[in-house]
Chain A
Amino acid sequence: MAPVTPAPQAGTGKGPALVAFFVRRLLQSIVVLLLVTLITFALLRMIPGNVAVAVMGPGAYRNPQAIKLFNATYGFDLPWYRQYFLWLSNLARGNLGYSWTLNQSVASLLANRLPKTIALVGISTILALVLAIPIGVIQAVRRNKLTDHAFNAFSTIFYATPAFLIGIVAILLFAIKFPIFPPEGPQGEGLGSIITNFEAMILPIVTLALVTIALFSRYMRSSVLDNLTEDYVRTARAKGASERRVLIRHVMRNSLIPIATLLGLSLPAILAGALITESVFNYPGMGYLFYQSALKQDYPTLLGFTVVVALATVVGSLLADIAYAVLDPRVRYVSS
């Protein structure tokens, strides 16, 4: 598979090249996904100890017959590559494994927890975008002025501050010192508790948003700065467009393209931020469960979730690339 390199060219005859690019990119994603399952499976094999004993208790050592039966039932006596294909075919059918610790299938755990994480990540990402885009534009326009430096200091500090620290300070200030919000996320089952107990969502949402605002506004600033030096800006100004029109109609629209792709690409970072935020606020989402599974060494849950998160990331970056190719007419994809 040849590496894909974009080359800016006059935008003629984009259609077929674009389709070819999509197909190549899709094939690449499938290869990457297979590699992810291999890595995950390798981790699965690295786990110390005996699954049969872990599930049935240390008493199983007195009954080698039972261990043998267990291994035969679940395929643990097969060679590693057969185990891998067994695991893979289970994955393909949506069987993510079984958490012996929680006595529940990983898929049902995921179905229970994922909507909550999506709600948290979705709301806070929208909030972050709404704030970060104007901040980035203002910074770029007032480059190296006081406003720029002030926002820059703000975003550097939040970029450098670990999410859990932002969360702790938020709890200290707005839940304990001034008890405006509860210190914990909504605890109820299902998505309903998020709506009925929305004030408990505020601190987690703001914590996660602060982390992402810092990331997005820096990108937006440099994206606008790059675009301000482009020829089309000079053309627009020469044609007598007002500075405001140049900024909003021309520069901002073009600067948003990298942000669209950034959204797809920063999914891993946002999910990591969500894991930390959920742990700080005891918010019963996927990240919090992943963290607890790490403490309890609940490997099936850890690895099942890892595969799902990786799948989300691969799809995210695929969408980011496609969005980029569709949104920017100057980009044409050629294989070198």
Chain B
Amino acid sequence: MTMNLPADPPPGPESSAMGLATVTSEPLGEASAIAPGMLPAGKPRSAFRRSLDVFLDNKLAVTGVAIFVAMVLFCFLGPVFYHTDQVHVNFAIENMPPSAAHPLGTDGNGYDVLGRLMAAGQISLEVGLAAAALATIVGVLWGAVAGYFGGVLDSAMMRLVDAMLSIPTLFLALVVVAIVTPTTPILILVIALTSWLTTSRLVRGEALSLRVREYVQAMKVMGGGGTRAVLRHIAPNAVGTIMVNATFQVADAIALVVALSYLGLGVPPPKQDWGGMLSDGVQYVYDGYWWLIFPAGLCIILVITAAIFVGEGLRDAVEVRLQQR
């Protein structure tokens, strides 16, 4: 539900874990440790190469990358070639249907819809990508520290995660956005601070299984400290899981920012994101102004679907167990 808001864990057997109870939980690292022995004789390929091959074989994943790149180019390079005024209101040309001058018509303020799609997309993508990146960093550090040190610290840190997870992301974000007026950086912060939780749970699970590995033990014997273990060993070795999760984070973050702006709690005018365009367009739903709804809606679906395809492709590529089925 991206709305998903769905702001919830990526679908798949492993996410049912939620740190609670699973029978089939099998640490990822274990599988990849066995894998080299199972390779057919001949030219040995690195784990990275094998994963890349699996990813590139996945048509949906490659399509996802293509769509995502295309949308980024459309939003960020589009305005270079297609100049429109997205600041000054012009009621003389409000709600014009598509024409040669305005390929996707104009909206209630007289803004060109095609140009607006690009400008709004910049905000949706910026907020989505930045929030996902920030959430991933916070989640990885939090989870790695909790999992590596364990004990009371782990319990305390994870109970805080549990507590924040029990307030649905959209509810928490709405409360915070009602308290502080949203601007682009604040939206990024709010979304990141409400969505790093699932990442931290996942990484904690990885850290729990990684910290007893020989190379981490060896490093400890040689006098390495906790910071080194977390930053140089735990986090890099969980990178597959982290990347998959980060991709789904992008989908969820975009869904959340779009939902917030649809609800009227997005960036203030004259700026707008795709959700804001939709919520304006819906006011004319009885007038049949389809160009105010469908282009923005299509952009949202395309970007989120693309991110999910990429995430699923990455997950298959990382999960060696699946390769062997």
A residues whose Cβ falls under 8 Å from a Cβ of B: 1-4, 6, 8, 28, 31-33, 35-36, 38-40, 43, 46-48, 156-157, 159-165, 168-169, 171-172, 176, 211-212, 214-215, 218-219, 222-223, 225-226, 229, 258, 261-262, 265-266, 268-273, 275-276, 279, 290-291, 293-295, 297, 299, 302-303, 305-306, 309-310, 313-314, 317, 320-321, 324-325, 328, 330-331, 333
Report if A176-B171 is in contact (Cβ < 8 Å); known contacts: A32-B166, A163-B3, A165-B278: no
Q: What are the residues of chain A within 8 A of B7 when measuring CB–CB?
A: 269, 272
Say yes or no for B21: interface residue by CB 8 A criterion.
Answer: yes
**Residues 268-294 (chain B) with a chain A CB within 8 angstroms:** 275, 278, 282, 285-286, 293
Which residue of chain A is the closest to B302 with respect to CB atoms? Answer: A160
The contact of B163 among A32, A168, A226, A268, by CB within 8 Å, is A32
Q: Are A306 and B167 in contact (CB under 8 A)?
A: yes
- In contact, A269 and B4 (Cβ under 8 angstroms): yes
21 contacts between A and B (CB under 8 A): A28-B159, A36-B166, A47-B179, A48-B179, A160-B255, A160-B301, A164-B278, A165-B278, A165-B301, A171-B285, A212-B1, A215-B6, A222-B12, A225-B13, A265-B16, A269-B7, A272-B7, A272-B168, A302-B174, A321-B21, A333-B21
The residues of A that contact B286 with a CB separation of less than 8 Å are 176
What's the nearest-Cβ distance from chain B to residue A3, in Å?
6
Contact indicator B168/A268 (Cβ below 8 Å):
yes
Establish whether residues B169 and A268, one from each chain, have CB atoms under 8 Å apart when the complex forms.
yes
Assembled-state Cα–Cα distance A290/B18 (Å)? 27
Does B160 count as interface, using CB distance less than 8 angstroms? Answer: yes
Residue of A nearest to B204 (CB): A3
A286 to chain B, nearest CB (A): 10
In the bound complex, do residue B167 and residue A164 qualify as a contact, i.e. CB atoms below 8 Å apart?
Answer: no
B residues near A229, Cβ cutoff 8 Å: 325
Candidates A215, A271, A294, A320; contact of B11 at CB < 8 Å: A215
**A168 and B175 contact, CB distance less than 8 A:** no
A215, B1: Cβ atoms under 8 Å? yes
Taken together as a complex, chains A and B put the C-alpha atoms of A309 and B170 apart, in Å, by 12
In the bound complex, do residue B278 and residue A1 qualify as a contact, i.e. CB atoms below 8 Å apart?
no
Instruction: Specify which chain A residues have a CB less than 8 angstroms from the CB of B176 in the assembled complex.
Output: 43
Binding site for A on B (CB under 8 A): 1-8, 11-13, 16, 18, 20-25, 150, 154-155, 158-160, 162-172, 174-179, 251, 255, 258-259, 262-265, 275, 278, 282, 285-286, 293, 297, 300-301, 304-305, 308-309, 325
Q: When chains A and B are docked, how far (Å) is the Cα of A331 from the Cα of B20?
A: 11
- Complex Cα–Cα for A138 and B309 (A): 21
Q: Closest Cβ of chain B: how far from A144's Cβ, in Å?
A: 11
Bound complex: CA A276 to CA B259 (Å): 8
Find chain B residues with CB under 8 A from A43 CB: 175-176, 179
Pair A275/B179 contact, Cβ less than 8 Å: no
Q: How close is A317's CB to chain B, nearest CB, in angstroms? A: 7
- Bound CA span A321–B297, Å: 38
* List of A residues within 8 angstroms of B259 by Cβ: 162-164, 276
User: Top 7 nearest A-B pairs by Cβ distance?
Assistant: A35-B163, A268-B168, A218-B11, A272-B170, A160-B304, A313-B166, A160-B305
Tell me which residues across on chain B come within 8 A of A320, comparing CB atoms.
Answer: 20
Query: Given A302-B175, A313-B166, A159 and B23 touching (CB < 8 A)?
Result: no
Cβ of A35: which chain B residues have Cβ within 8 Å of it?
159-160, 162-163
A271 to B2, CA, bound (A): 12
Assess the A258–B170 pair: CB atoms within 8 A.
no
Closest A residue to B307 by beta carbon equals A160
B170 to chain A, nearest CB (A): 4
* Contact, CB under 8 Å: A309 / B168: yes
- On chain A, the residues within 8 Å of B262 by CB distance are 162, 164, 276
Distance to closest chain B CB from A142 (angstroms)? 16
User: Which one of A222, A276, A291, A293 lies within 8 Å of B13 (CB-CB)?
Assistant: A222
Q: Which residue of B lies closest to A36 (CB)?
A: B163
* Chain A proximity of B12: nearest CB distance (Å): 6
Cβ–Cβ contact A156 & B308, under 8 A: yes
CA distance A271 to B240 in the complex (A): 31
A328 proximity list for chain B (CB < 8 A): 23
A176 contacts B4, C-beta separation under 8 Å: no
Whether the Cβ atoms of A156 and B20 lie closer than 8 Å is no
B22: A residues at CB distance < 8 A = 6
Contact across chains for A275 and B11 when beta carbons are under 8 A apart: no
Q: How far is the CA of A32 from the CA of B19 in the complex (A)?
A: 15
Report the minimal beta-carbon distance from B183 to chain A, rounded to whole angstroms.
Answer: 16
Instruction: Give B32 Cβ to nearest chain A Cβ, in Å.
Output: 19
Chain B contacts of A331 at CB under 8 A? 21, 23
Check A294/B4 contact, CB under 8 A, given A31-B159, A39-B164, A156-B309: no
Cα(A317)–Cα(B16), bound, Å: 12
A28 CA / B19 CA spacing, docked (Å): 13
Closest to B296 in A: A165
B297 contacts A168, C-beta separation under 8 Å: yes
